[in-house]
A and B are shown apart, each in its own frame.
Chain A
Amino acid sequence: KAGVTQTPRYLIKTRGQQVTLSCSPISGHRSVSWYQQTPGQGLQFLFEYFSETQRNKGNFPGRFSGRQFSNSRSEMNVSTLELGDSALYLCASSLMGGARGWGYTFGSGTRLTVV
């Protein structure tokens, strides 16, 4: 079966611009969560969506937002980009939410570079 698909794989943006990243979960998975990975801060949780509703949010500014569509695909948006937003953004899908043991399947990520 197809895995988690993230598009685009690479992106270069200028400070002040906005960006939208896309994630297509595994078919049948209803939970999609997003993570930021940087060399300095490691992997950090951004937010989780389940059935089009945001269930949890990490400690990130309001410039980071997301949404989930009825087919479970999810998008993440970052407005007013800063140099510090340069990172690998990972999406993970889960049947119901991985904490209870269903586990997460991660995509390969979108590498965002802000110049």
Chain B
Amino acid sequence: DAKTTQPNSMESNEEEPVHLPCNHSTISGTDYIHWYRQLPSQGPEYVIHGLTSNVNNRMASLAIAEDRKSSTLILHRATLRDAAVYYCIRANAGNMLTFGGGTRLMVKP
């Protein structure tokens, strides 16, 4: 059974970088890797996505391992507003999303 695994929780200090890991060892060659985050009482919010190469946007960076079996979401400077549950997701060619269990990020002031 294909799985996407993430640590349950991580802690960071405000203004410091955060690296959120994800393991997707059974990913297929056409699956995209997406990251979303969810605040309490809200639906998930898009953060970033990629296929093979590293990606950057205004919110974060996504580093994808060369063998694509793992990826890391990087928040360059964590703020209190970044405290959320972060989901690593495999999206297959048929648009079916497989969610990881999510990592609860706590940011300390």
Q: Which A residues fall within an 8 A CB radius of B? A: 4, 31, 33, 35, 42-45, 48, 50, 55-56, 58, 90, 92, 94, 97-101, 103-109
Contacts and interface: CB of A to CB of B under 8 A. Distances in A.
Contacts of B95: 31, 33, 48, 50, 55-56, 94, 97-100
Interface of B: 31-32, 34, 36, 41-46, 49, 51, 87, 91-102
Contact of A99 (B42, B87, B91, B102): B91
A103 B31 CA distance: 13
Contacts of B42: 108
B62 to A, nearest CB: 12
Contacts of B31: 99
Contact of B99 (A31, A44, A108): A44
Given A90-B43, A108-B42, A55 B34 contact: no
4 smallest CB-CB distances across A and B, nearest first, come from A106-B43, A99-B91, A97-B95, A43-B99
Contacts of B46: 103-105
Nearest to B91: A99
